[in-house]
Amino acid sequence: MTKVDPATTLTIRSATPTDYEFGLQLDHSSSTDYVWQMTYEESEGALRVAFRPARLPRSMKVLYPRSGEALLRSWQLHNSFLVAEWDGEVVGYVNVREEVAQETAWVADLVVDRPHRLRGIGTALLRAARQWALESNLRRLIVETHTKNYPAIRFLQKRGLVFCGYNDLFYPNQDIAVFFGQMLR
């Protein structure tokens, strides 16, 4: 159990099937004034890919790149699905799978309901994912997000994860996935 605020208790626990419905009801969207813009150049047999923050002309609401149906399937298949309870209410979750050959814990989803953001819940969920990975004897942690979710990119960077790759054919909605990683041992 993690104390985030003296008047409120945050509990991170393994999800039960009844938590799936609550997870789907969370506001998965985000707002941003920036995106990570990708540039791709090919010349003389060399490839150059670069990402940089680009300011948008106005704030943009960003929808989650996975459908509710895809989330449900994913939650049922992955090794660790943890929820964050804030005074008994499910307010976030982290979905982690083990990539055995790579000795990696892969965080596919880390979500905090919009009204509960900026209270340390995302940090507590990331910490719980790290702990699960260590207990599972995994060597690294990788978290995926997309280039339009600049708040998530900054969140991960501030917590010591570093950019370690991308896939421009990753999400069904054609968003570019970016990956941030950290060695655990």
Going residue by residue through the chain, which has 185 residues, state the pLDDT in tens, using 9 for 90 and above. 444 555 568 999 999 988 888 889 999 999 999 999 999 999 999 999 999 999 999 999 999 988 888 888 888 777 789 999 999 999 999 999 999 889 999 999 999 999 999 999 999 999 999 999 999 999 999 999 999 999 999 999 999 999 999 999 999 888 999 999 999 98
pTM for the full predicted model = 0.90
Number of domains in the chain: 1
Residue pair 81/97 in contact by the 8 Å Cβ criterion: no
CATH code for the domain in which residue 10 is found: 3.40.630.30
Angstrom distance (rounded) from CA 38 to CA 35: 9
| Owning domain of residue 117 | 2-183
CA distance 72 to 24: 8
| Residue listed under structure tokens 């953001």 | 117
